[in-house]
Structure 1
């Protein structure tokens, strides 16, 4: 569940663009958040964007955070993507872009209707950071992009086609990849096998931070990561927010060395106390920052079946 909006985006403070008044002067570069209410919006997002372009010099804009749009649970982000790509020539300094910065009060993450975002990467060849929240109707086609350094897709259920498209893309500058894989209940139908091109180490030669998180098959992902050729080049590994059991942690301990990592994030897990102690004993003496907090990982049992959930589903 997402309960707070971003107040910082890739080193820049997020400033809300007022859709009904003139914006106050800002000091230095900022990330402009452009949003309309998700319920009873006085205008559609593209109209708010037109107001933004008229009030702020587009050539000075380094970062845009797209917040809510009218009825995002029924209306896709297609018009937003179209408006941004049409203005690409004016947004010559844009380097960071996030689509869908909404809390659960605006729209639950699994209800956010996205669209094909491939055109954003084609329209903005100098873009270095792209983030997307919501997996419903999200589409991406394999693409080559020379300058993208970070790609973040947050979802309660990420379609396998999107995972495969990321894995098939040519992103030679990518250093940070974060995928919230989610659950099949909310459209997350990928498997650990779909991640194989990423884990091979051949696709993204500069990748140093990898997050494959929020999955209900986190054990299988952990087992794949344990033998993945990409691991030695990483300094940060994030397998958090999912259904990670002792089986997955055991695979990590039995696999290749992880002591070179600066950070291993396993928060929101279903590990036993004994396994947590084994993980600490194996990694913390080498200086690995280890997050093993269970957080909101709760088990429910019904009719003899134990139910466990990811951190961010609906």
Structure 2
């Protein structure tokens, strides 16, 4: 990963932030555990708390297949307990935990969800069953190996209802051509609390490269339609991923926050206008978005986009929506 030589002053350093989307892992290609996370969280912005979202980290190596996902909750709960000890300061890393379960198991997934709840020690908040699928071999499908229309599978919808029964949330992660599927899912299971990850996954690689204006128009139409579903909120971020096609990750020097804000502004502002600040939360998606920017620069870019927002709107976008959605205050 190239390292940015652009050192910026931190904008609005006192603004309280709950980062509702980051990962932890230890893979041969790289490690991002609590020490690495804390380096980013302490880079100048006022990060008070975070939410971990599943990434295939530390599943159990043995036992029933459907219960191996519980290992990720057990691992993250340990990292959260370390942070909560106060040894590393007041920051509550992984205050909320989102893990994985196979929702296509339908009603049978209930036992897995209950095991996650026990393992989370009060921190477990929901499930992400990634649905990213595309016909092009140039677009990598999600690690769950989903079918094209996962959200339409009847047993998946039954599994989602099990989440709703337990006041657990669902993280929707798919690519922009699949947004109509999410609209249908949200309408079919209105009792489910759903958060759209990464502004809906606008693709800009493979067959989608060089078509940004055309794709943006269709994406914006579907985002506005999705916003008409009152049980859906949106995460504002993820645009630093290589699949979005901005190609910042190919540079020898990473861009500054002004360039990032100019590139990301149309997507962020469209979502904020459609959903409103009380149904939108800014996210880092680190370390994934770290291919395009530093953690400090990312939040500076967001602050440039929201410069004209009121204090109440900023409070919602940066902290309050996330804390309410994930029930971090009880």
Higher-RCO chain (CA-CA 8 Å, sequence separation at least 6): 2
> If the TM-score is normalised by the length of the shorter chain, which range does it land in?
0.3 to 0.5
Normalised by the length of structure 1, the TM-score is: 0.39
- Higher relative helix content: 2
- Higher relative strand content: 1
Normalised by the length of structure 2, the TM-score is: 0.38
